[in-house]
Amino acid sequence: MGNCSIGSFRHLGTDFERMPDRTFLSFREWFTYNPYVDTVYDRVLHWSETLRMIVFLRVLFILVLLATLTFSVLGVVAAAFGSTCSNDTYDCEGTYFLRIMAFIHAGLYFVCCVLMLWPAAWYAARIRDLILAILLVYPVAYEWVIHIHFSQKCHDYYEHNCHSIYLYHNRSKFYDLCLLSMVIFIEILAVANPEEDGEDSKDRPDLSVVDYLFGKENAEWRRPLLVSSKVKEYSGDISKWREVVHQRNKSLESAVEIADKQQQASSEQAKLLGKYSNLINETTEKVSRASSLLDKQSTKIGELNDAVNDVIKALGSSADISNIGSAFSMTGADCRAWALVIFMCLLVGVGILVGLPKWLHLFHIELGIDI
């Protein structure tokens, strides 16, 4: 019964797609079909669920719909033919606004006809009744409370000069009261109708709804596994999931690139550590060699020191040159001994000059001397 957008609007949601299809009743079935008998209700029918009440509501619905549509057309006609009603000397139209109220009633009755056909579920029907009650409160209060009595001069004026508008006003105010009373009666039926345990409001029959009042469930209907709204919802979820997977793949690619860079950096660090280890080993060897050379030199210096001491002992006291007088008292043997000592000292100095640059080279110390 209509496309998805109209069905969603009439049900105030998307649950209608899983609700059974309904077919219209034949004219004979208007007086024989009871939707509560064909259901699985295991209880005694409520007074509002009897066949007589259902037939009465079907006839009443058709009569009210036709009467409301008729009153809407009559309001336009009455207001069109009463265009001269504003030229009165008593300013009756400026006080009671009967012509304007005729236009308002025409629009109000047309909206009521649309609202009577709009809902397709129990919850939507309750909102429909609330809107109708709000729309009918103003004209009822205006005609039955604010302007319930007309002045005699305005009564005579409308009676003789704007008879169509005045007649429409007198009929419409009673019809407004009847419509408001029927809205209240429908609400009492909806509330008084017992609710089954665990029954959802969207599944409850409502005898003010056209689909339940003049329709029945299609016997060949099968509950669909998927509906268009859910397919769109699933499609949207899949698209979002695809975006999430795409972002995750990008994150994984970035993580792999970072891991590759870290691996390359680790390899370079390992190479550098190998080089540093080799340099440390070489330095250790050089230090060991320098230490052994220093030990040998220390041994040589000790031996030289012993040799000097032996020479000094061999020279005796006459070789002591602590004063200038002893130098003149030296013999030829003393001179040869001192010459030998001086020669040995020169050899030691030459050895130090030759060995010192090599030691400095082992420790990578440069003094700018090339030998």
Q: Please provide the DSSP assignment of 69-103 as one string.
A: HHHHHHHHHHHHHTTTGGG-SS-HHHHH-HHHHHH
**The whole model's pTM is what?**
0.57
Give the distance, in angstroms, between the CA of residue 249 and the centroid of all CA atoms in the same chain: 21
Contacts of 129 (CB under 8 A, 6+ apart): 183, 186, 187, 190, 208
Give tens-digit pLDDT for 250-260. 888 888 888 88
pLDDT at 72 over 90: yes
Three-state SS for 183-211 is HHHHHHHHHHCCCCCCCCHHHCCCCCCHH
Average pLDDT over residues 361-367: 64
Give tens-digit pLDDT for 3-21. 566 766 676 765 656 666 6
**Burial (CB count <10 Å: 0-12, 13-18, 19+), residue 327:** middle
Confidence of residue 176 (pLDDT cuts 50, 70, 90): very high
Give tens-digit pLDDT for 302-318. 777 777 677 667 655 44
pLDDT of residue 294: 78
Q: Which helix (H) or strand (E) is 277 found in, with range?
A: helix 228-315
Q: Is 192 within 8 Å of 48 (Cβ atoms)?
A: yes
**Amino acid, single-letter form, for residue 261:** K
pLDDT at 299 over 70: yes
CA-derived radius of gyration, the chain: 60
